[in-house]
Amino acid sequence: MKVAIYARYSSDQQRDASITDQFRMCRLRAEKEGWRVVEEYSDHSISGASMIQRPGIQALVMDSTRGRFDLVLAEALDRISRDQEDIAGIYKRMRYADVKMFTLSEGEISELHVGLKGTMNALFLKDLADKTRRGQRGRVEAGKSGGGNSYGYDVVKKFDGDGEPSRGDRTINAAQAEVVRRIFRDYAAGKSAKAIAMALNKDGIPAPSGGDWGFSTINGNPKRGNGILNNEMYVGRIVWNRQRFIKDPDTGKRQARPNPEEDWVIQEVPELRILDDDLWNAVKARQKTNTVARDARGIADVRKVNHRRRPKYLFSGLTKCACCGGGYSAISKELIGCSTARNKGTCDNRMNIRRDELESRVLNALRTRLVDPDLFAEFCDAYTRETNRLRMESGAGIDKAEAELKRIAREEEKLMDLYMRDAISIEAVKERGDKLRARKAELQDFLASTDEPPPLLHPSMALQYRARVQQLYETLQSDDETQRIEAAEIIRSLIDRIVLTPGEDRIEIDVQGDLAGILTLSAQRKNPAADAAGAQVKMVAGVGFEPTTFRL
| pLDDT, tens only, 239-249 | 888 877 776 66
Pairwise pLDDT comparison (441 vs 482), residue with the higher score: 441
Choose the most confident range, by mean pLDDT, from 108-112, 286-290, 473-477: 108-112
**124: how many CB neighbours lie within 10 A of its CB?**
13
Please tell me the pTM assigned to this model: 0.50
Nearest to 236 by CA among 280, 273, 274: 273
List, for residues 38-92, the tens digit of each pLDDT value: 999 988 766 655 565 678 888 888 888 888 899 999 998 888 887 777 888 888 8
Q: Which fold has domain 171-306?
A: Hect, E3 ligase catalytic domain fold (3.90.1750)
Per-residue pLDDT, 531: 38
Q: Is 3.40.50.1390 the CATH classification of the domain at 2-126?
A: yes
List, for residues 437-464, the tens digit of each pLDDT value: 888 888 777 777 665 555 544 545 555 6
461: Cα within 13 Å, side-chain hemisphere: 21
For the chain, the structural domain boundaries read 2-126, 171-306, 377-449
DSSP per-residue string spanning 157-173? -EE-TTSPEEPS-EEE-
**Mean confidence (pLDDT) of the chain:** 76
Report H helices in 104-149: 111-141
DSSP per-residue string spanning 233-291? GGGTEEEE-SEEEEE-TTT--EEEEEPPGGG-EEEE-GGG--S-HHHHHHHHHHHHH-S
**178: how many CB neighbours lie within 10 A of its CB?**
13
335 near 354, Cβ under 8 Å? yes
